[in-house]
Structure 1
Amino acid sequence: MGSSARKKKEKKKDFQKPKLRVGKTKAKADNFTDTSFKSKSIVVNQQSLSTSAKSSSSQFAHYLSLASSSKSDTQRRDALAYLTTQLSSQPVNEPMPLPTAIILPKLLPLILDGTSSVRSQLLKFLRLLPPSDVGDRAEQSLLYTRAGMTHLAAEIRVDALSILEWLLEVAKDDVVTCPGGWMKTLKSFMTMMGWATSSGSTKWTSASKSSFGKFAFGKAGKAFPRQLLVLAQFLKAGLVEPEDSLPTSEGTATFPICQVGMHMIPTRSNAFAHLNLFGTSRDEDGEMYIDREDRQRVFHKNFRAAVEEGISTAQKEAGEAGRAAAVLSKVVRDGMADYTDIDD
């Protein structure tokens, strides 16, 4: 009986509420852990501390990687702004942090970037590159430029024209003579402006100006005079004889030293690339047209009728389009003045 009374008393304790006294702290739990201690030092495993800052080339490469591969348009724009600041602030005779051969392939895809601020910042950076390094990579630059010229977005087409203008400023000879630089670029202009020759006949048609959808009468219509002017610059680079190469009456060479320049060491890299001795076979579009006469022949055969018909139509419009068409008409007239199609 004594054992039974003790068990009842122990069970009753579980339901008794403890009486709290004023000022007395609550009893600590059995699993309480004391954290009142203070540590004099904190040790972090696998930390790297360096007293010297990163080199300018490594920082340049880091921001170049951000500009080319970041998923955020803000990061791409800010990285391009940093690269632009770095190039513009360095001394004139100081070499670039990275070669142009590494920079251009990473940044050229940004010509097709969907953010306007990234494309405008890209153009600012490209204008700082050495012109001598850009000419050797004109073929790769034109590949993305032509893709931008025929893009569905009107803003990208307009910015691609700015890239082409920059290329014509720094390396116009390489632009019109590189593989595909003449034929493919002219075809891109015809597609962008809606000038095309119909298949099966020689009649001129304006078939594709509405192919760009809602931008046909909006931003694309406002950009039409600009397209005419850039086309005039491109045709001038390929068809018009440079003034410094024209013969003059003073100081002309006489026999036996005629055409001395033909026997000098070539000034351009890979001077015999147009022969395509070891490369894959090219079609008419991807051919290199080194001579002005060859470019005249290709232009007369494939594009002259469409361009002249387009010029006559644009000249009937008032305003900027008519004035730009007059500039283009003068370039075509000067560039084809000495051409004869007897051999064709």
Structure 2
Amino acid sequence: MGSSVRKKREKKKDFQKPKLKVGKTKAKADNFTDTSFKSKAIVVNQQSLSTTAPSSSSQFSHYLSLASSSKSDSQRRDALSYLTTQIASKPVNDPMPLPTAILLPKLLPLILDGSSSVRSQVLRLFRLLSPSDIGDRVEQALLYTRAGMTHLAAEIRVDALAVLEWLLEVAKDDVVTCPGGWVKTLKTFMSMMGWAVSSSSSKWTSASKVSFGKAGKAFPRQLLVLAQFLKAGLIETDTEPTIGKDSGLFPLCDVARHMIPQRSNAFAHLNLFGSSRDEEGEMYIDREDRQRVFQRRFQSAVAIGVANAKKEAGEAGRSASVLSKVLLEGMADYESVDDTQ
């Protein structure tokens, strides 16, 4: 009797609905872990503890990596500020923490950075670099500079002009003689200023020049920088000492021209082992060659643009007068040659 009653009760339990009370918490699982405790210490995995501080070169490399790869604008700006301070505070005769050949490839892309504070800070850093280390790397710097000059953002175009001014200050000869430095940079100016002539038969310009608003404020600056660029390429600056009758060393003449070249890779313009170059990527070492290319491809468009800018008067007219003076002085002694014969 007892066993049968017990079995009936057990079967009845399977069909009984449990009564739930309002507000009753759910039962905790068997593998529940209590995490309600509070810790007074923070443990960081893989932390490095050392009694010696990192060297200045390793810190410099770390901040250089932050400046070139960080996704935060403020972090890139602060890293550049640290690099600028370290370079400016080092003794004159001490070497750079890292050579310029390593610094420039990582910092040049910041010319196109979207933050104005980052672009201004990287330009301050550029001005602290040794001018003797810039000449051999002008070609790479011009790639980013030309990209900035034709950028969609007006602020980046203005800052790219500042970078080009710096390059003309420290290595103007290399700017106009490096591969693509003359023709490609002139084409960039024509496109930026709206003076580029299309290849169609209509002879209309491919872009219209707007001289009001933000573009109007930047236009006089563009004229002045173009004048500096043309002055570096078209006006001859005779800095080499002349050795002749007046020096008392007759009959030794033009000795400086037969000495060992001071610039590295002095025969790069011959392109003996490189890939073939077109007219735009060619190196124009001689002033006469630059005059010839400028007269054939750009002089008429520049002359029309300068004439229109003079009509606007004001700051644009004064800048156009400076550019006109450079054109007259640079092309005064050039005689056009017919290349078709």
Residue in 2 aligned with 1:185?
185
Residue in 1 aligned with 2:291?
296
Residues 253 and 259 of structure 1 are in contact (CA less than 8 Å); yes or no, is this contact kept in structure 2?
Answer: no
Residues 192 and 209 of structure 1 are in contact (CA less than 8 Å); yes or no, is this contact kept in structure 2?
Answer: no
Check 1:91–1:222 CA distance in 2 against 1; reply closer, same or farther (3 A cut). same
Question: For 1:241, which of 229, 236, 241 is the aligned residue?
Answer: 236
Residues 142 and 181 of structure 1 are in contact (CA less than 8 Å); yes or no, is this contact kept in structure 2?
Answer: yes
Residue in 1 aligned with 2:315?
320
Check 1:147–1:216 CA distance in 2 against 1; reply closer, same or farther (3 A cut). farther
Distance 1:326 1:254 in 2: 44
Residue in 2 aligned with 1:9?
none
Classify the secondary structure of the residue corresponding to 1:290. Answer: coil
Question: For 1:332, which of 305, 327, 336 is the aligned residue?
Answer: 327
Q: Which letter maps to 1:169?
A: E
Residues 209 and 216 of structure 1 are in contact (CA less than 8 Å); yes or no, is this contact kept in structure 2?
Answer: no
C-alpha deviation, 1:50, in angstroms: 1.2
Distance 2:329 2:88 in 1: 39
Residue in 2 aligned with 1:227?
222
Distance 1:110 1:195 in 2: 28
Distance 1:47 1:299 in 2: 61
Residue in 2 aligned with 1:168?
168
Distance 1:318 1:335 in 2: 24
Distance 2:43 2:320 in 1: 74
Distance 2:311 2:240 in 1: 36
Distance 1:200 1:43 in 2: 70
Residues 243 and 253 of structure 2 are in contact (CA less than 8 Å); yes or no, is this contact kept in structure 1?
Answer: no
Matches within 5 A, 1:1-344: 47-201=47-201, 203=203, 205-209=204-208, 217-245=212-240, 251=246, 256-344=251-339
Q: Which letter maps to 1:231?
A: L
Distance 1:248 1:322 in 2: 43
C-alpha deviation, 1:315, in angstroms: 0.6
Q: Which letter maps to 1:119?
A: R
Q: Which letter maps to 1:263?
A: H
Classify the secondary structure of the residue corresponding to 2:148. Answer: helix
Distance 2:338 2:208 in 1: 34
Distance 1:82 1:146 in 2: 27
Distance 1:129 1:274 in 2: 26
Check 1:189–1:44 CA distance in 2 against 1; reply closer, same or farther (3 A cut). closer
Residue in 2 aligned with 1:14?
none
Check 1:249–1:46 CA distance in 2 against 1; reply closer, same or farther (3 A cut). closer
CA-to-aligned-CA distance 1:7-59 (integer Å, 9 cap, x gap): xxxxxxxxxxxxxxxxxxxxxxxx9x9xxxxxxxx999865321111111110
Classify the secondary structure of the residue corresponding to 1:267. Answer: coil
C-alpha deviation, 1:253, in angstroms: 7.6
Distance 2:248 2:157 in 1: 47
Q: Which letter maps to 2:195?
A: W
Check 1:301–1:94 CA distance in 2 against 1; reply closer, same or farther (3 A cut). same
CA-to-aligned-CA distance 1:85-106 (integer Å, 9 cap, x gap): 1111111111000010001001
C-alpha deviation, 1:260, in angstroms: 1.2
Check 1:196–1:247 CA distance in 2 against 1; reply closer, same or farther (3 A cut). farther
C-alpha deviation, 1:196, in angstroms: 1.8
Residues 180 and 285 of structure 1 are in contact (CA less than 8 Å); yes or no, is this contact kept in structure 2?
Answer: yes
For the aligned residue pairs, the C-alpha RMSD in angstroms reads 3.2
Residues 236 and 331 of structure 1 are in contact (CA less than 8 Å); yes or no, is this contact kept in structure 2?
Answer: yes
Distance 2:277 2:187 in 1: 17
Distance 1:245 1:200 in 2: 45
Check 1:91–1:301 CA distance in 2 against 1; reply closer, same or farther (3 A cut). same
Size of the aligned set, in residue pairs, is 315
CA-to-aligned-CA distance 1:49-91 (integer Å, 9 cap, x gap): 2111111111010000000011111111111111011111111
Residues 113 and 119 of structure 1 are in contact (CA less than 8 Å); yes or no, is this contact kept in structure 2?
Answer: yes
CA-to-aligned-CA distance 1:233-265 (integer Å, 9 cap, x gap): 000000001153596998368763222122100
Q: What TM-score does the superposition give when structure 1 sets the normalisation length?
A: 0.83
Residues 179 and 281 of structure 2 are in contact (CA less than 8 Å); yes or no, is this contact kept in structure 1?
Answer: yes
Classify the secondary structure of the residue corresponding to 2:134. Answer: helix
